[in-house]
Amino acid sequence: MAPAKPNFLIIIADDLGFSDVGCFGGEIKTPNLDSLGRNGVRFKDFHAAAACSPTRSMLMSGTDHHLTGLGQLVEFTSNSPAHQGKPGHEGYLTDNVATLPEVLRDGGYHTIMSGKWHLGLRPEYSPSARGFTRSFTLLPGCANHYGWEPQIEENGLSPKFFETAVAALHMEDREYVDNSKLPEDFYSTDHYTDKLLQYLEERPTEKPFFAYLPYSAPHWPLQAPKENSSRYKGLYKDGPEALRQKRLQGLIREGLTSADVKAHPVVAPGSKEWEAMDDITRAKSAKAMEVYAGMVDRMDENIGRVISYLKDNDLYDNTMIFFASDNGAEGASYEMIPVIGENITDHIEKYYNNSLDNIGQKDSFVWYGSRWAQAATAPSRLFKMFSTEGGVRVPLIMKPIGSGNPSICDEFCTIMDIMPTLLELAGIERPGSTYNGRPVISMRGSSWVPYLHGSAEHIHADDHVTGWELIGNGALRKGNWKINFVNKPFGPEAWQLYDLSVDPGETTDLAEQEPEKLKELINHWQQYALETQVVGLKPDLGTIIVRDEMDDPTKWMKYETSSGISKRLKNERAAVQS
């Protein structure tokens, strides 16, 4: 009798910092993840894209996000004429790729998903359309974790940011969900877990399964049940620099960085030092961090529920589990994110209650900013939206099939590698140039199976090249050498060169000392950009790219905002009821 095919479970946290969980050096209580990590494999050189939907498209396709339709965050593309109408920037996961759930489904797997999608808002772009047999999904990039929305006054206008990213637009299979019918005690992390467990219970037991659980936590707005956030009361009163130092020591203690590591200095233009803040601002900032910790705490509890289900049903040993973050910790304050373009402070003050005692509740709307983020990405440089290590190096925990020796993996690898790895473990052939009658792009990722089985010394060869680009920031890595292009005011808007083998914090620019190496890597990046349809780097985006003239600028893609769809659905339901 042939051995049973393995089951796969992929869990993604949203904007989780590198050192947030306990087994990566953090103080947040994550016993379930700690058990997975300390009894499995912890990867310390695993990389994603610098933001959420690009990373998710890479996971679903095994290739670079510029080739999948998510060259940029759709919220950015909608405000960037330089990208609109360009191939690879359609704003949803296109048919140019064969997706991981699609190929696994066709190979005999039962495919289920519950959580954040962010790869298209319409039914034709939904998880159900891209290979998932069952799915309950949050379609946009983020939403209120309690499903709550303020009642905007009649004829009132929301800032564009709230139109695109905050409405809790859900879909089950191919039907939009009426939010009024969500449970009264709805909380995103709990409900997404409930749904995944429901789908696991209802699955056909004769088939192996692929389960995808992408939480929307701990993405802002920072909201958590008091029972979780109260566990951290007073823990962050000394501010982000004190936490940063503790996290660095935690990483050293866990064997995830060297004792003599040189951490990159904190870069936070426009953000006050902790000592320069007034008492109430410090108190609110510390409270926001407490709530953030509560979100991670609650997520770990729910992951424990899934693990218990697998163990109780004799599924655990034959299930390979991956847990990762989709990008580095979120560090940008709203006024500095290019996707917003408007001051939202007045809107928040009018419709939300951000008093100290209310922070973290359903009608609050807070984030934690760049200094707390850099406590979580240290020793790396910067955070989400940048292709520096702080933006793209993320924690990964892998539980192998059966039992294995606990270990820490220092191999460079990326989220593009997961699809080819799972397909090889499942005994399913990689898609060729066509799939289900349509042309598709080949995967750029590599299978880890030879490395995991001991027949290869490394996952990638020393001359392997990986490139990045997002909102005009770029990077490329070859072996231990890496170049970064960082926009002002966070960088010089010029290529910088680093040797990560001795400088993981990207603190010493070697561009002048190693001009030939710099030239070599820049040439590789230019080739990468041509191969993957990268539009360009700032500040030249608006001058080197000519936008095609359009009568209707919205024709660049089939796009509605999540808020617009929600309003349309409410009006349609009201018309039916009347």
Catalytic residues: 52, 118
Instruction: Say how far apart CA 57 and CA 120 lie, in whole Å.
Output: 11
SS3 150: coil
> Residue-wise over 104-113: b if at least 16 C-beta within 10 A, else e?
bbeeebbbbb
Tokens standing for 337? 């994110």
Question: Would you state the structure tokens that stand for residue 490, as one six-digit string?
Answer: 């966070």
189: enclosing H helix or E strand = helix 188-202
Which of 152, 150, 145 lies closest to 168, judged by CA?
A: 145
Is the distance from CB of 578 to CB of 134 less than 8 angstroms? no
Tell me which residue of 99, 17, 91 sits closest to 58, measured CA to CA. Answer: 99
Cβ contacts of residue 148 below 8 Å, gap of 6+?
Answer: 168, 362, 363
Report the alpha-carbon distance of residue 176 to residue 565 in Å, rounded: 10
The residue to which tokens 């949050």 are assigned:
138
DSSP string, 369-410: HHHHHHHHHTTSS--TTS-SHHHHB--EEEEPSS----EEE-
Tokens of 196: 């995944």
What is the spatial distance between Cα 36 and Cα 51, in angstroms, rounded to a whole number? 25
Q: Distance (Å, rounded) from C-alpha 100 to C-alpha 132?
A: 9
State both tokens at 404: 């294995």
